[in-house]
Each structure stands twice: as structure tokens, then as C-alpha cells.
Structure 1
Amino acid sequence: MPSVHGPRRARIAFSDSAAKQLENITSEAEIHALDRALVVISVDPDVGEPIPGDTAGPQLRQYADEVESVRVLYFVTALRTVVVVAYIEV
């Protein structure tokens, strides 16, 4: 029997600095744009481009939506169940 539900989504968590950025977003349009970007990332955490850097920690990735004018820097936990947002630009 096929599954009724779609693909499992990763949970979204915010770093302290990203949470502060989130508090400063007051426009409904910006909130909507960010929400759409976070849904895309939660469904497919590999959607963003890897950012070159140190290989000691988790791979930092960047997702940019040109239409919605949103940029999110994030990394994915080892079990791929949580996406940690490090930086938000709306």
C-alpha cells in the first residue's frame, strides 16, 4: 500500500543570531517569502549550494530564491533530520 504522506521533512531550528534576525522581520510579505524558502529547504536540505570552507564542522550551505528575494545560510545535522538556520536575509 503506498504511503499517504509526502516525503519526510527536516525540522527547522534557528541559531541565536538567526532567531534575532527573525524577530526583526515584521512585513507579512517577508515572513511569507521566508516561510516558502524554509519549506523548500526542509523538504530537500541539499537544495542549497555548498559554501567552501573548513571541513571540520558541518557543511554550510546557501539557499537563495531570486523571485522572493530571500537568502538563507544553513547546515544540516548528521542524521539529516534537522536543518539549522545560521543567517537570514530578506
Structure 2
Amino acid sequence: MSPEHGPRRSQVVLVEPALSQLAKLTAAETHRLDRVIVAFSVSPELGTPVPDTLLRDYVDDVDGVRVIYYVTALRPVAIVAYVEA
């Protein structure tokens, strides 16, 4: 019998300007961002929909991280457009 697997994660892709913002983060900020990316890769609906767009805005007040992203139509890929830590 095969072991039970957890939920399938979305592939997460960062685009400009998110890559530029990522390059400016400290190691600690990048670590906090990683935890947030894992969270919404498992549950893409976590973010709040941005009205009149396909974007979602996810804010983690505990880690002090904000990510704006959208999920592709088939849900296997989340595109990160903005990061703030």
C-alpha cells in the first residue's frame, strides 16, 4: 500500500519586479517569505482577491510578509508579482 500524500503544491514562479525585490531581502526576510510561499502553494485561495483583477493579496501579519500573486487557470502554477518583507 502506498503512503498517503499531502496536498499537491502549485509551482511558484516569481516575475519582475518580484525578483528585483527578492534580491534586496535579507536572509531572515527570505526565510519568512519562503514560509508564506509554501502556504499559498498548498492553498492558493489563501490570498484576498483584488477587485476587478485576477490577483490575490496575501498578508501574513505574524511574519510581516505581503505577496501579490495570481494562480493560473489550471491551478498548477502561482505567479508572484510582488513581495514585501
**For residues 86 and 34 of structure 1, what CA distance do their matches in structure 2 show?**
13
When the two structures are superposed, what TM-score results if normalisation uses the length of structure 2? 0.92
Find out whether 1:33 has 2:28 as its counterpart: no
* Structure 1 unpaired stretches of 5+: none
2:44 corresponds to: 45
Of 38, 48, 60, the match for 2:55: 60
CA RMSD of aligned residues (A): 1.3
Runs of 4+ in 1 over 4 A off after TM superposition: none
* Structure 2 unpaired stretches of 5+: none
Give deviations 1:4-37, integer Å, cap 9, x for gaps: 3211000000112111111111x22201110000
Matched residue of 1:30: which SS?
helix
**For residues 82 and 75 of structure 2, what CA distance do their matches in structure 1 show?**
19
2:17 corresponds to: 17
Matched residue of 2:31: which SS?
helix
**For residues 17 and 39 of structure 1, what CA distance do their matches in structure 2 show?**
20
Find out whether 1:73 has 2:68 as its counterpart: yes
